[in-house]
Amino acid sequence: MQTTMACADSDVDLETAPLTALNVKVRTRLGLFLNPKNTVAPDWTALAEEAGFTYLEIKNFEGRRNPTAVVLDEWTARATDATVGKLLVILEKLERNDILEDLRCAIVEDVRRYREKEAERPLQVPEVDSCVPRTPDRIGLTLEDDPDGVPELFDAFICYCQSDIEFVHEMIRELEQTDCKLKLCVFDRDVLPGSCVWSITSELIEKRCKRMVVVISDEYLNSDACDFQTKFALSLCPGAQKKRLIPVLYKSMKKPFPSILRFLTVCDYTRPCTQAWFWLRLAKALALP
């Protein structure tokens, strides 16, 4: 499909524009088209299937007030092909020409504004380093990194917010200081200060840690760092095919459980009937090859 849409006075290329370029108004109108169950035209479930979501994931989305918006958000978080161009390809494949005709100019305008804002951002030098030779960024990230050897590796990266640190200490005692002998990456304990937080966490999650444990709490929902880490880990393993991300709930929550993790099996410490097996289940999941 040619994703440069023919709209009045516009030649905006939509191929690589991320879905985040679409504003609330366009997303709302997409929901008005796709949310209602339709016996004639494909609805949001068809969009979710084309975007790569499984049957169980789609069933989990059914109870949401705006499932189309949820699909777009989840797709953006987990896939590199979540672009406006790909969305238009899917809508054309589903023969939803009514949507394409009604929203095409609004979509083009959104992408145009997104590109203009992108162009206004100041250019940033990727690196400033007068030292030659330069030590690679991957060396010297953690306490045990050996500049002359291989980078330090871990069984799991622990995603947590500061208010949950006591539970993280308990996790260290149960998983590292017992017969489990697992090696956890705890940011405040293991990472050396002085480098960019986002680049360090990306490197650790993608290349240094086999899995990531997400400590879920009300405070977690307000953490930008936890949000970034979770979405980054999900993007590395769409559909949870390798059990890369393991949610852990250790105390009751007042807020709704994060929707982005609803399709994953939770290791729940809040249920008295499962506490006896909690650490063994978690340890075995982290020890998988």
Q: What is the pLDDT of residues 19-61, one digit of tens each?
A: 888 888 888 899 899 998 866 789 999 999 999 888 888 888 8
Tokens of 180: 């489990």
Is 6 domain-assigned?
Answer: no
For the segment 197-239, what is each residue's pLDDT rounded down to a tens digit? 888 899 999 999 999 999 999 999 999 999 999 988 888 876 5
pLDDT at 225: 92
Number of structural domains (the chain) is 2
Is pLDDT above 80 for 101?
yes
State whether 268 and 172 are in the same domain. Answer: yes
Is 66 domain-assigned?
Answer: yes
Is 252 domain-assigned?
Answer: yes
pLDDT at 141: 85
Is 160 domain-assigned?
Answer: yes
State whether 210 and 97 are in the same domain. Answer: no
Is 10 domain-assigned?
Answer: no
For the segment 159-197, what is each residue's pLDDT rounded down to a tens digit? 999 999 999 999 999 999 999 999 999 999 999 888 788
State whether 96 and 166 are in the same domain. Answer: no
Residue corresponding to tokens 């006896």: 276
State whether 82 and 184 are in the same domain. Answer: no
Is 174 domain-assigned?
Answer: yes
Domain residues for 112? 19-120
For residue 267, CA distances in Å to 66, 91, 247, 271 come to 28, 37, 6, 10
Q: Which long-range contacts (CB under 8 A, 24 or more apart) does 180-185 make?
A: 180/279, 180/283, 180/287, 182/155, 182/156, 182/283, 182/286, 182/287, 183/153, 183/154, 183/155, 184/154, 184/155, 184/156, 184/157, 184/158, 184/213, 185/142, 185/154, 185/156, 185/157, 185/158, 185/209
Report the alpha-carbon distance of residue 50 to residue 72 in Å, rounded.
12
CATH number, domain containing residue 51: 1.10.533.10
Q: Which residues contact 50 (CB under 8 A, 6 or more apart)?
A: 90, 93, 94
State whether 173 and 227 are in the same domain. Answer: yes
Strand runs labelled E in the chain: 154-159, 184-185, 209-216, 245-249, 267-268
Is 132 domain-assigned?
Answer: no
State whether 167 and 242 are in the same domain. Answer: yes
pLDDT at 4: 42
Report the alpha-carbon distance of residue 81 to residue 51 in Å, rounded.
9
pLDDT at 171: 96
- Per-residue confidence band for 117, with pLDDT thresholds at 50, 70 and 90: confident
State whether 171 and 254 are in the same domain. Answer: yes
State whether 182 and 267 are in the same domain. Answer: yes
With beta carbons less than 8 A apart as the criterion, state whether 18 and 84 touch.
yes
* Domain termination residue (choose one: 67, 94, 120): 120
Mean pLDDT of 266-271: 92
State whether 166 and 246 are in the same domain. Answer: yes
- Per-residue confidence band for 155, with pLDDT thresholds at 50, 70 and 90: very high
For the segment 240-261, what is each residue's pLDDT rounded down to a tens digit? 556 689 999 999 999 999 988 8
Is 94 domain-assigned?
Answer: yes
State whether 165 and 109 are in the same domain. Answer: no
CATH number, domain containing residue 181: 3.40.50.10140
pLDDT at 277: 92
Torsion angle of the four alpha carbons 80, 85, 89, 95, in this order, in degrees rounded to the nearest 10: 130
pLDDT at 128: 44
Tokens of 231: 């979405």
Is pLDDT above 70 for 279?
yes
pLDDT at 238: 63
* Domain termination residue (choose one: 64, 94, 120): 120
pTM score, two decimals? 0.55
For residue 224, CA distances in Å to 11, 160, 221, 269 come to 36, 11, 8, 24
pLDDT at 3: 43
- pLDDT over 70 percentage in the chain: 84
State whether 67 and 164 are in the same domain. Answer: no
State whether 165 and 249 are in the same domain. Answer: yes
**φ, ψ of residue 241 in degrees (nearest 5):** -65, -25
Mean pLDDT of 89-111: 89
- Per-residue confidence band for 11, with pLDDT thresholds at 50, 70 and 90: low
